[in-house]
Amino acid sequence: MLFSELGLGPDVLRAIEDKGYTQPTPIQEQAIPCVLQRRDVLGCAQTGTGKTASFTLPMIDILASGRARARMPRSLILEPTRELAAQVSESFETYGKHHKLSMALLIGGETFTEQVKKLDRGVDVLIATPGRLIDLFERGNIMLNDIKVFVIDEADRMLDMGFIPDIERIVSKLPKNRQTLFFSATMPPEIRRLADAFLTDPMEISVAPPASPAETVTQAMVLVHEMDKRKALRHLLQTEDVKNAFIFCNRKRDIAVLQKSLERHGFNVGALHGDMVQSKRTETLERFKQGEITLLVCSDVAARGIDVQGLSHVFNFDVPLTPDDYVHRIGRTGRAGKQGRAFMLATPDDTKLVGAITRLIKREIPMIAIDGLETAEFGEEDSSSRGRGRGRGGRAAKSEGRPPRGGREERAPREERAPREERAAREERPVREERPVREERSSRDDRPVREERQPRESLAAAEARRNNDPRRDRDRDRRRRRDDDDDDVPVIGFGDHMPAFMLRSARPRPSAETSTEQSQEG
Ligand code: AMP
């Protein structure tokens, strides 16, 4: 199929040609005609599938006629992270270069002044992270009642980051008569309910089974003892043909340690995580994209959607804490038909996490050995991680008290464990942060423990409770802070908020998982 067969206007087609695309991707083929017909769309698609163009291209055509009024944007796109928001705005610039659409990017970490000035002039396309949008709305800088097209991107990531209450609030300010485009990489029941609440008779498009890693990524895993991980990484960096790579760590503070260690060994390496000021984040990513930095040690802020053309490698220095994150991390490479390579460094303490990943991707990750390093074994006790300051019930503590398989894990008694600082000093290792609640795992199924579901209550009662609850402001502030620090924060569930979509019954679905979930909700 050709782009010209999808119903797009000549100026958009010209921009596509300038960009060098010859054929629409499957999601573009299906979504573009629907969006142009002004239908709602529920898209289950990962980044790397051409999803962004599937909504930006038709939106440009739709918005080409008409004019924006001051403070009343005509379309709204919500993104979970600033990097993704910035990337979508670049797409609008690329594909809208033959149009005169005005655009504003509202993201945390930047001053309000410029953003407010733009809003005052009137914008056709508003791209925002939820927290900053709510801030500006509350200050009266923005009105949402002229939104004609509303896009929620990366809905499952929004859920993970605790943004759903903010999104519900934003949706309640939008006109009923609007077009809604909803994209998510995975479709768990919570996301399905949310989609049911926001969309009207949507066209459902699924371009890849949820969470399937790209076939273009060659995966491998190295099983080593904790103390050998850096050596193993250096070996891979030296023996692989690495043009550029993301190296993912689970914790921000480990990023700095690894970056310094790699620098000491002569690698050209930068860092990217949510504690950095936005200007530094943007600059680092830009330098990496330009090839000035070859390796980027990063947190999951770089895992979703970040599009670096031709990234040759992804290294998981830590096994990700949720299997979905594995899929997103390795999806940074092997994009747009190119080949990519993804390596993961696992330790014996990662047995369960690796099991969860292989269950999700429905295949084993091939194991490779590294010359000169002892290959560890899953399930064995990693004596190298014992007392390594993993922190609270961390892996070290777990391995010390590890029960037989399948049993409930217990922490070793306190007196049996040396203080973390002492252990760290002894072994010249950095003290790791206490792990946040999110990383507690249910011993039954390896999924992060979610908060208990709240009992059902009526919408009116829930709203009244929220309005009267003094903790509401505190929770809002917390969410806002999270928008400024949008990676590896602990998930706090819904806190005191009862989202409206939780009060709706889910669409009946045949899978066993869904029926269990529904029966539990009672
Ligand atoms: P996305 O899934 O939106 O993050 O897009 C992933 C990458 O695919 C981006 O680098 C796009 O520039 C690229 N891309 C999008 N559409 C096409 C297309 N039709 N042909 C080739 N590349 C594309």
Ligand 1 centre to CA of 359 (Å) is 28
pLDDT tier, 208 (very low <50, low <70, confident <90, very high otherwise): low
Ligand 1 centre to CA of 139 (Å) is 36
Distance of CA 323 to the CA centre of its chain: 12
Q: What is the pLDDT of residue 449?
A: 29
> Is the pLDDT higher at 222 or at 500?
222
Ligand 1 centre to CA of 254 (Å) is 32
Residues 6+ apart with CB under 8 A from 474: none
Q: Which tens digit of pLDDT belongs to each residue from 465-495?
A: 444 544 444 444 444 444 443 443 433 445 4
Collect contacts of 363-369 with beta carbons under 8 A, ≥24 apart: 365/219, 365/220, 365/221, 366/219, 366/220, 366/221, 367/220, 367/221, 367/222, 367/223, 368/220, 368/221, 368/222, 369/222
- Report the nearest-CA residue for atom 13 of ligand 1: 50
- Report the nearest-CA residue for atom 16 of ligand 1: 50
Query: Of 46-55, 201-210, 324-333, which gets the smallest average pLDDT?
Result: 201-210
Count CA within 13 A, CB hemisphere, residue 193. Answer: 17
Q: What is the pLDDT of residue 425?
A: 34
Distance of CA 285 to the CA centre of its chain: 16
Query: Of 364-378, 420-434, 504-518, which gets the smallest average pLDDT?
Result: 420-434
- Report the nearest-CA residue for atom 14 of ligand 1: 50
Q: Which tens digit of pLDDT belongs to each residue from 164-200?
A: 999 999 999 999 999 999 999 888 899 999 999 999 9
Residues 6+ apart with CB under 8 A from 85: 77, 79, 105, 106, 107, 127, 128, 129
Q: What is the pLDDT of residue 382?
A: 64
Contact 325, 253 (CB under 8 A): no
Q: Which atom of ligand 1 is nearest to the CA of 23?
A: 19
Q: Which atom of ligand 1 is nearest to the CA of 87?
A: 4
Q: What is the pLDDT of residue 1?
A: 87
Ligand 1 centre to CA of 5 (Å) is 18
Rounded Cα–Cα distance for residues 259 and 265 (Å): 10
Angle, CA of 64, 67 and 71, to the nearest 5°: 125
Say yes or no to pLDDT of 408 above 50: no
pLDDT tier, 417 (very low <50, low <70, confident <90, very high otherwise): very low
- Report the nearest-CA residue for atom 20 of ligand 1: 21
Q: What is the pLDDT of residue 83?
A: 87
Q: Which tens digit of pLDDT belongs to each residue from 251-275?
A: 988 999 999 999 999 999 999 988 8
The pTM score is 0.59
Indicate the top mutation candidate among 27, 47, 51, 52 to test ligand 1's pocket, ranked by most ligand atoms within 8 A of CB.
52
Rounded Cα–Cα distance for residues 33 and 37 (Å): 6
Give all domains of the chain, ordered by start, each with its CATH number. Answer: 3-206 (3.40.50.300), 217-388 (3.40.50.300)
Say yes or no to pLDDT of 7 above 70: yes
Indicate the top mutation candidate among 6, 8, 18, 21 to test ligand 1's pocket, ranked by most ligand atoms within 8 A of CB.
21
Rounded Cα–Cα distance for residues 276 and 453 (Å): 34
- Report the nearest-CA residue for atom 5 of ligand 1: 50
pLDDT tier, 53 (very low <50, low <70, confident <90, very high otherwise): very high
Q: Which tens digit of pLDDT belongs to each residue from 313-361?
A: 999 999 999 898 898 899 888 876 778 999 999 999 999 999 999 998 8
Indicate the top mutation candidate among 307, 308, 338 to test ligand 1's pocket, ranked by most ligand atoms within 8 A of CB.
307
Rounded Cα–Cα distance for residues 293 and 84 (Å): 20
Q: Which tens digit of pLDDT belongs to each residue from 284-311?
A: 989 999 999 999 999 987 767 677 878 9
- Exposure class string for 164-199: b at 16+ Cβ within 10 A, else e: bbbbbbbbeebeeebbbbbbbbbbbbbbbbbbbebb
| Ligand 1 site residues, Cβ closer than 6 angstroms | 21, 23-25, 28, 47-53, 305, 307, 335-336
- Report the nearest-CA residue for atom 17 of ligand 1: 50
Distances (CA, A) of 493 to 111, 188, 204, 391: 29, 15, 27, 23
Q: Which atom of ligand 1 is nearest to the CA of 3?
A: 19
Ligand 1 centre to CA of 88 (Å) is 12
> Is the pLDDT higher at 222 or at 185?
222
pLDDT tier, 242 (very low <50, low <70, confident <90, very high otherwise): very high
Three-state DSSP state, 434: coil
- Report the nearest-CA residue for atom 15 of ligand 1: 50
Rounded Cα–Cα distance for residues 336 and 328 (Å): 15
Q: Minimal CA–CA distance to 385: which of 230, 227, 254?
A: 227
Phi, psi of 432 (to 5 degrees): -85, 155
- Report the nearest-CA residue for atom 19 of ligand 1: 24
Q: What is the pLDDT of residue 124?
A: 96
Q: What is the pLDDT of residue 215?
A: 78
Ligand 1 centre to CA of 504 (Å) is 36
Contact 43, 181 (CB under 8 A): yes
Ligand 1 centre to CA of 312 (Å) is 17
Helix, strand, coil % in the chain, rounded to nearest 5:
45, 15, 45
Rounded Cα–Cα distance for residues 260 and 297 (Å): 10
Residue 181 pairs in a beta bridge with 41, 151
Q: What is the pLDDT of residue 490?
A: 38
